[in-house]
Chain A
Amino acid sequence: MKKYELVFIIKPMEEEALQAVIAKFEAMVTNNGGTMEKIDRWGKRRLAYLVKDFTEGYYCIFRFTGTPATVAELNRVMKITDDILRHMIVKEDE
């Protein structure tokens, strides 16, 4: 089990829709043999450059422990979800 950090940017949408997306991925972490540690919401931020023609995005950060399989599955689903503008999973240092 390793510690990972997942950062993703969601399209700007209504609060409830955002909530649903975050909850969905939170469930995905636990269902794939991972444990959530912390959810950090940065909220809406201006993007440094245009991503899929959006100038703003909602940043959210998950810290979790999991296996490589958890990461692979998250990566796969994140890529095919249209509401996610960008995502990145990194191994946590410290």
Chain B
Amino acid sequence: MRREKGRRPRKKVCSFCVDKIESINYKEIGRLQRYVSERGKILPRRISGNCAKHQRQVTLAVKRARSIALLPFTTE
């Protein structure tokens, strides 16, 4: 099977590495909200472009934020 022609998607870079952020806190909801879908799901790495290290931190931070009602488990 031949690969579809077209532009190769641009390589994404981890925005946390770019900003040199070491640890992600569950209290910064403004920042975390960018890594959550409209329905409140955590975005996968292939979409968010985070590196593995920061994606793990995002996951933990989102889960903590959910448990204290800062972020929704689900909307609607």
Could you tell me which residues of chain A, from 48 to 66, have a CB within 8 Å of some CB in chain B?
48-49, 51, 57, 61
Q: Is the CB of A49 within 8 A of B68?
A: no
B45 at the interface (CB under 8 A from A): no
The reply to whether A90 and B64 form a contact with Cβ atoms under 8 Å apart is yes
Contacts of A94 in B (CB 8 A): 23
Shortest CB–CB separation between residue B68 and chain A, in angstroms?
A: 5
Taking a contact as CB atoms under 8 Å apart, the answer to whether A93 and B66 are in contact is no
Number of interface residues of A (CB under 8 A): 15
Q: How far is the CA of A9 from the CA of B67 in the complex (A)?
A: 11
In the complex the two chains form, is B23's CB within 8 Å of A9's CB? no
Whether B23 lies near A93 (C-beta < 8 A) is yes
A48 contacts B23, CB within 8 Å?
Answer: no
Chain A residues 35 to 94 lying within 8 A of chain B, measured CB to CB, are 47-49, 51, 57, 61, 85-88, 90, 93-94
Within 8 A of A (CB), among B16-44: 23, 26-27
**Could you give 29 example pairs across A and B, Cβ below 8 Å?**
A7-B27, A7-B68, A9-B68, A9-B69, A47-B69, A48-B66, A48-B69, A48-B70, A48-B71, A48-B72, A48-B73, A49-B69, A49-B72, A49-B73, A51-B69, A57-B69, A61-B27, A85-B69, A86-B67, A86-B68, A86-B69, A87-B68, A88-B64, A88-B67, A88-B68, A90-B26, A90-B64, A93-B23, A94-B23
Other than the known A48-B73, A86-B69, what 17 A-B pairs have Cβ atoms closer than 8 Å? A7-B27, A9-B69, A48-B69, A48-B70, A48-B71, A49-B69, A49-B72, A49-B73, A51-B69, A86-B67, A86-B68, A87-B68, A88-B64, A88-B68, A90-B26, A90-B64, A93-B23
